[in-house]
Amino acid sequence: MKAVFEELRSAETSRKRLVGRLIFGALVLASAVVGAVGGLLLVYSTDLPQVEALEHYRPISSTELYDVHGNVIGSFALQRRVVASYNDFPKVLLDALVSIEDKEFYRHWGVNVWRIAGAAFRDIESGGKVQGASTLTMQLARNLFLSPDRSFHRKIQEALLAIQIERRFTKQQILTLYANQIYLGHGVYGFEAAPEYYFSKPARQLTLPEAALIAGLPKSPLYYSPINHADHALRRRTLVIDAMLEDGKITVAQADAARKAALGLNVAHDPNSLAPYFVEEVRQYLEGKYGADQVHAGGLRVYTTLDMDLQAAANAAVLDGLAAYERRHGWHGHLENILFEGQTLEHYQNPDWDEQLATGSYMHGLVTAVATTTAGIKIGNYVATLTKADVAWTKKPLARLLIPGDIVYVKVLSLAPGGKARVSLEQDSGVQGALLAIDNLSGEVRAMVGGRDFNLSKFNRATQALRQVGSSFKPYVYTAVIDQGASPDDTVVDSPVIFQTASGQYFPHNFDDKYEGTITLRRALSQSRNIPALKLADKIGIRTVEEYARKFGITSPLPPYLPVALGAAEMTLMEQTSAYSVFPDDGVRLAPRFVTKVTDYDGRVLEEDYPEVKDVISSRTARIMTSMLEAVVEHGTGVAATKLKVPLGGKTGTTNDFTDAWFVGFSPAMTAGVWVGYDERRSLGSKETGARAALPIWMQFMSAALAGKDPGQFQPPPDLPQKQTAQTLDTPDLAPAGDEGH
């Protein structure tokens, strides 16, 4: 019995030793695992970003441009983003996001361990890399600090950063950071910019189906794009709606209605498209002053001088005027045909179709079918039918005019439901036009058109093109004469004359090759007589004329030759228009400007511009010249403008061989200039004068600009000497000569 007891005691001792060894081994193993994990965490946490920086986090933000009424007219951005606060995001959007991306968001501490473990097991089992299972906080950490590669290393770093973020920030703050940072396709970042892009509305106005669609985009913005893959977007939206229903965020009835709703996209058009030449001028100015990085990523707010309503009127006036010119000169044909280039009717896309289609706009369309009396046209998502009446001006039958695959230029006359449009056939032969409008009291540029189509040519013909100005230069000659004491009722002899010059004899002539004899200065200017202008310039000296032009702000080269008096000098539309504003401004010049104020991301004012004012001529001279330029409109070369029935002054300009057509004029409140011509400096055609090609554009614009407003009155000219005391100014001098302008 004793032996049995000893044997049992020995067995118990052995068992205790075995358990002790097992416990010791387990402790050693646990220590090793803890050490290994700690070591791994130490390795993976090395060089991790400091999340404290998020307290001062500033996402890359768009610089936005505003017009005088506070409307957005353009933006510059590396990332299209509108930074918003938590309260800007509606509950339905945040509920949708949490339901589909991270159901446990309000309960976890940054990492959902079981979700990650399940995803990791599935990925290991399938031989893939770790993916999915990220919480919203982990996604935020990845987007802010890490690369997008899918690896265990990145996943661990993502989790560590998420834990730090959760410790330092509230759930509300994390959601706000996420909602401003996430990419949602088509260059759009954040839950404020996305609704503005896809639905043309702020986030707070989103409906349930719209919010569900936006919330479904973070998983794969490209694959679920409602623009490129509507079917994918609808399926994803349904998943989001189902997830919200499962979480009790919406009712069954709401879910059913949301699933049946159409996508309802209303994609915002590019705000830069209304005034692209103006916006480009502002961009160049801002980058020169603040640098490209600040302009494209710093979130500046730029308050410009543009008036969107006037800009729209300017766009329409130029395009309508060029269309009228094209019709006067008949159909040229030579259309591009995509079928000859190996493209197909089904897959063709024109750059114009990215713009918003609107009544009155001019677009390129694709001819899809041609019959005897009709032709089918595709313009983006719209279709139209051209009839015989729409092409009557070409004097050609439709069947001989167009073939399938032709790219045609059309004007949109009306838009109807169901993607139907009514259009007229137009033509783009390459003729260009430019318009600039300046507020007289401030020098602020209210509208600018630099060409027919910014997408085809970014060259700004309002600010960059140096063109001969023709007779629109003559007011500087008359200003110099009046400023030196002459009267509008003084006379000059309009008769043939020969000027002896260093290069030989100069035989100028009037545009109509007729001569009126002794006429007043007022009549000589209003009828744009060449000989009187040359005689006056010759009498006072062409260099004196140049000095006066410089006072008006003309900086372009002015050769000291007598024909400069007729406009044989090149300058920009900006120079001419700004110079003419001196007359209604009582002799004061306000330098033209595009920007009134710039603020930074935090709203601090970086600059606030005020007009640069300079006295040019006396108020007496300015008022007399204004009255003389009124005479140009009342009974001179600009007489067509009397149809507007408001006080107006201005001057036409036409160069040799009808290469350039000008009209620069003003009301008491606004000065505007118009130029028409070809870039390659070829003739516009016989009789295409400033009065015919440019003045109708100016009139259409000014009619819109003055509509519903008090036009005001010009300051009356001072009392002038009686007619019987007037003198005759007719003493030619010798002067070098160049090309004649008209």
Catalytic residues: 101, 471
Instruction: Indicate the residue type of 204.
Output: R
Closest CA to 561 of 618, 504, 605, 637: 504
**Residue indicated by tokens 């307290």:** 55
Q: 3-class DSSP state for residue 593?
A: strand
As given in the structure block, the two tokens for residue 368 are 């899809």
Please state, in angstroms and rounded to a whole number, the distance separating the CA atoms of residues 594 and 70: 15
Instruction: Indicate the residue type of 678.
Output: Y
Closest CA to 681 of 465, 369, 396: 465
As given in the structure block, the two tokens for residue 593 are 């400007």
**Residue indicated by tokens 């005027």:** 321
Q: Which residues contact 569 (CB under 8 A, 6 or more apart)?
A: 468, 469, 473, 556, 557, 558, 559, 741
Please state, in angstroms and rounded to a whole number, the distance separating the CA atoms of residues 274 and 507: 47
Instruction: Indicate the residue type of 409.
Output: Y
Please state, in angstroms and rounded to a whole number, the distance separating the CA atoms of residues 433 and 431: 7
Instruction: Indicate the residue type of 241.
Output: I
Q: HSE, CB side, 13 Å, CA atoms: give it for residue 290.
A: 21
C-beta of residue 169 within 8 angstroms of C-beta of residue 177: yes
Please state, in angstroms and rounded to a whole number, the distance separating the CA atoms of residues 45 and 154: 10
**CA triplet 145, 295, 446: central angle to 5 degrees?**
150
As given in the structure block, the two tokens for residue 20 are 């002790």
Strands (E), 305-444: 362-370, 374-379, 382-387, 407-416, 420-426, 432-439
Calculate the CA 530 to chain-centre distance.
41
As given in the structure block, the two tokens for residue 475 are 């007011």
The full length of the chain comes to: 742
Instruction: Measure Cα distances from 155 to 23, 52, 102, 584 in Å.
Output: 33, 20, 16, 70
As given in the structure block, the two tokens for residue 651 are 């001057």
As given in the structure block, the two tokens for residue 345 are 């009717």
Please state, in angstroms and rounded to a whole number, the distance separating the CA atoms of residues 351 and 376: 19
C-beta of residue 165 within 8 angstroms of C-beta of residue 109: no
Strands (E), 454-612: 467-468, 491-494, 499-501, 504-506, 517-520, 570-571, 588-590, 595-599, 605-608
As given in the structure block, the two tokens for residue 638 are 């600009």
Please state, in angstroms and rounded to a whole number, the distance separating the CA atoms of residues 282 and 274: 14
**Residue indicated by tokens 């004061």:** 588
